[in-house]
Every structure is written in C-alpha cells, then in structure tokens.
Amino acid sequence: MKKIELEIVALSHSITQSHSYAVVLGEVSGIRRLPIVIGGFEAQAIAVALEKMNPTRPLTHDLMKSICHSFNIEVKEVIINNLLDGIFYSQLVCKHGNELIEVDSRTSDALALAVRFDCPIYTYEFILDSAGLILEEPAKEEKLEIKERKSEKKSGTATAVKSMDLTSQSLPELNQLLQTLLEKEDYEQAIRVRDEISRRKNQS
C-alpha cells in the first residue's frame, strides 16, 4: 500500500471536544489536511518539541527518546495505519542494528516522538479519503501555527503573563520571566515570552 507523507501544519484547541486539542497534518506537496483530536498533555509535548524549548525536567516523550538512544534504537518513521470508529491507530517503525521493529502506538504519542526524532510521518489513501479535508484555497507558503492553549484552570503566573504587556518589559525582566515559566513548566506562556525576546534581539 502506497504511503503518503504528512507534516504537522497546525496545533490548536479543539472546537469539537472540550479539554482537547487538534493537531492538523498536511499532505506534503498536496492540499489535503488530516485533523486529529489529542489530549492536552500530548499537545503540550508536541508544542514543546516543535518550538525547541528546553524543559527544566524531561517530559515523558523526552525520556522515551533518551531511553531509545541509550539502547541504540532510532524511530525511523511514524505510520498512521488505521482508522476505526473515529479513532486513529499508528505504528512506530524503529531500527535496532539491522533489525526493523514495528511498535503499536497512540497517534498522539507517535507524533510527539516523530517531532523529537525528526522522522517522517505517513498515512494511507483510505485514511485521507475517510477523514481528510481539502483546502479550498491552498496557501503558497504555510507556516506552522500553534494557537494559544485555552484552559479553564489558569495558574496565577499564566493569567498574569496573558494580561501583561510584554512590550513594556525590559530584556532582563523578560529573561527572568522566561526562567520562572520554565521552572513552573508553563511552556505555552514561555513560548510567548521567548518570541518577544527573539523579536527584540532581531530588531537590535
């Protein structure tokens, strides 16, 4: 069966299920999109890797990557190989020496590991036919969009950062705030602060 390569093009709060998120996979060199609902923890794990953040403590998927490297195991590709009753099923294709090993995985976990191992993501035509969407007007260049995570339970720090005008803060203040957010493992807000720091540095 021919494999179709996908890439992550968006990560956002799901409008169909509360407390869930949607990762949108796009057909490489194509116009079809495959939205998949995932949990908040997995969404954070994907976002952290995509944004190349360095957590103060390793997340579960970072730990899995470290274990794989310790035993000379590489994740070579991820295949979203089935869709039953609205649930996506996936496999990790791993290499250990000269041996290829296929491991069943939740799709959200597979995607979080794919980003960390920088390996390709594939699916099959029948899955795109069943659950894929076609863009009416495909953009010439589509950049990854990570929409701000919505949560009913906000920490004091997260609420303060969201309401804070970051442009009024000095660079030392932003760097200190970034470290505080990383220590609290509030990666969504850390990304926002980090982007402001990067914007300032690019202007100087």
pLDDT 10s digits, 126-167: 999 989 988 655 454 445 565 544 444 444 555 566 567 788
- Residue 148 to residue 180: CA distance in whole angstroms: 19
Q: Which of 187, 157, 142, 158 is nearest to 52 (CA)?
A: 187
CB distance 74 to 7 below 8 Å = no
Beta bridge pairs of residue 37: 22
The pLDDT of residue 197: 85
Helices (H), the chain: 40-50, 60-70, 107-117, 125-131, 156-163, 171-183, 187-203
Q: Which of 149, 155, 202 is nearest to 180 (CA)?
A: 155
Bridge pairing between strands 3-13 and 145-146:
parallel
On average, the pLDDT of the chain sits at 83
For 16-26, the pLDDT digits (tens) are 555 678 899 99
Neighbour tally for 200: CB within 10 Å: 15
The pLDDT of residue 178: 81
The pLDDT of residue 157: 55
Share of the chain above pLDDT 90, in %: 45
pTM: 0.73
- Residue 67 to residue 64: CA distance in whole angstroms: 5
Distant-in-sequence, close-in-space partners of 38: CB < 8 Å, separation ≥ 6: 20, 21, 22, 23, 46, 107, 108, 111
Read off the pLDDT of each residue in 168-179 and give the average, rounded to a whole number: 86
CB distance 7 to 26 below 8 Å = yes
Q: Which tokens hold the place of 12?
A: 């956002």
Question: What is the CATH superfamily name and number for domain 3-146?
Answer: Bifunctional nuclease domain (3.10.690.10)
Amino acid at 169: Q
